Amino acid sequence: MGDDKYAIGLDFGTDSVRALLVNAENGKEETTAVSDYKRWAEGKYQDPASNIFRHHPLDYLESLAQVIKDCLSGVSKSIADNIIAIGIDTTGSTPAPTDRQGNILSLKKEFAENPNAMFLLWKDHSATEEAGLINNTAKNWGGVDFTKYSGGVYSSEWFFSKILQILRIDRDVREQAYSWVELADWIPAVLTGNTLPENIKRSRCAAGHKAMWHKDWNGLPPEEFLIKVDPLLSGLRDRLYTQTYTSDTPAGKLSKEWAEKLGLSTDVVITVGAFDAHMGAVGAKISEGVFVKVIGTSCCDMAVGKKKKDEKLISGICGQVDGSILPDMIGYEAGQSSFGDVYAWFKDVLSWPLKELLEKTKNLDKDTAKKLSIEVQNKIIPEIEKQCMKIRPEETGLIALEWLNGRRTPYADQKLKGAVAGLSLGSDAPKIYRSLAEATAFGSKAIIERFKADGLVVNEVAAIGGITKKSPLVMQILADVLDMPVKVAESSQSVALGAAIFGAVAAGYYKDIYQAQQKMASPFIKTYMPIDKNVKTYKRLYGLYIELGTKLEDFLRKL
């Protein structure tokens, strides 16, 4: 035990950061801790109605310090002294503007309360106009289509869309922003003390999937293209980066400042960062033919394939990038902009009278009314799912579209909205909920069909994330709709586990990611098998889902 080595996986999510301490020899998860982002929890810097979601960098810095201290508080000094690496994953694309020294602008007094000077969270979809401009220019400027390795459609969720929007709407930020940095690149830079824009080791994962980086055009799209999109982008390329790195590469070692803050050694290796879903796929044993679904508020889908001389382009996805998941394979990304968010939205709709009426009633004291409201809210989804289990797939009479936060894949379009068709006076809450669960599964099937149509082999599905453990209903519907086994990873922290696996490789404990996966990756605790009679029903209903989406797309964009 005294000779064992350990790695920490740091997972920066939407609401909080998680730290997972893992035994590098066998993957045993020793301890974990979570720290919520204080300002975000208070509802600051977000406007859901306008699709604006920003994070203050102090939320990341404060939670980073707290979560590692909390994680290490329950372990012996001998374990802490044998931590060899910290692997880092984050949401993305989540960029922020920096000054010449690499300081995020909102860390400076004059920008402290300016959301445009903060990190623009992945789910910020306010740059739809800019995404459209990038797509239109890429298809019509007369040169290379720089979106071709990004599925052929550039999204408002991504790097250049967000940058251009801020440059257009905020003169102060435009004049002070020297460069821009992804959160996945900034956290390793902070921990290693290398925040100068030209010194940061940039993530291959982030650059390839969200910033149109590719070796064929020597990195990012050229200046000539960017100024065709908008002259405001002039000169930015030279202040960004050319070289990128996979996450088995060290970004550096823990700086003296952060080593003292965290109580760790300056010998601790920090990985080059990557996006959460990509590292989660590694934690869930991704390999060729295994399609990994990272299911949370949204859903990210991961696949890998061998590199080929004549690379087949898969259209309509979120990119295919050499080394973005496994260092020597092509990584493919897709996903749904809302998955768990769909169920949370329905719960919020049903909870409205509890919050607005019950909690304000004069027939109960305020404290009792509040407790009763919360108790009922917490029981809504579990009870509805029990009722849904009694409903056969053909009984709802409903077809829903899960695009409540736009559509990420196939073919990104953040202007789309959700819908439920077929409502009648017999459409009760369980039937509507089941139709929403089926819609999230239909959206997953549409993604897999898109991959298969362009030649990628998908034999089975591995699923990670909270919903996989909480909802047998959703997981069984997913298996039935996909007509494929769906395996659930044992680890509740597969994303942070993947980050720790990369940490062990970057520190030299393993020679490569495959050896590390073999020893450290999560086993599976359950496999959902398709039910034949449901599979037949869902094949028909999936056809109706596709038909409904096709007919309503133009209409929904107008709303």
Domain 6-284+492-524 and domain 340-490+529-557, same fold? Reply is: yes
Read off the pLDDT of residues 324-346 as tens digits, 9 standing for 90 and up: 999 999 999 999 999 999 999 99
| pLDDT on residue 297 | 84
pLDDT at 81 over 60: yes
| pLDDT on residue 414 | 84
Read off the pLDDT of residues 228-237 as tens digits, 9 standing for 90 and up: 999 999 999 9
Task: Pick the closest to residue 509 from 165, 132, 26 (CA basis).
Answer: 26
Measured distance CA(236)–CA(241) in Å, rounded: 10
The domain ranges of the chain are 6-284+492-524, 340-490+529-557
Read off the pLDDT of residues 9-33 as tens digits, 9 standing for 90 and up: 999 999 999 999 999 999 999 999 9
Residues 6+ apart with CB under 8 A from 238: 223
Average pLDDT taken over every residue of the chain: 95
Read off the pLDDT of residues 262-298 as tens digits, 9 standing for 90 and up: 999 999 999 999 999 999 999 999 999 999 999 988 8
| pLDDT on residue 473 | 97
| pLDDT on residue 308 | 85
Sheet with 460-464: list strands edge to edge.
320-322, 330-336, 299-305, 290-295, 460-464, 486-489, 524-528
Read off the pLDDT of residues 152-196 as tens digits, 9 standing for 90 and up: 999 999 999 999 999 999 999 999 999 999 999 999 999 999 999
Fold topology of 340-490+529-557: Nucleotidyltransferase; domain 5 (3.30.420)
Percent of the chain exceeding pLDDT 70 equals: 100
Measured distance CA(35)–CA(61) in Å, rounded: 11
- Tell if the pTM clears 0.85, that is, is over it: yes
Reduced to 3 states, what is the DSSP secondary structure of residue 160? helix
Read off the pLDDT of residues 493-538 as tens digits, 9 standing for 90 and up: 999 999 999 999 999 999 999 999 999 999 999 999 999 999 999 9
Structure-derived torsion over alpha carbons of residues 110, 49, 205, 211, reported in degrees to the nearest 10: -70
**One-letter amino acid of 2:** G
CATH node for 6-284+492-524:
3.30.420.40
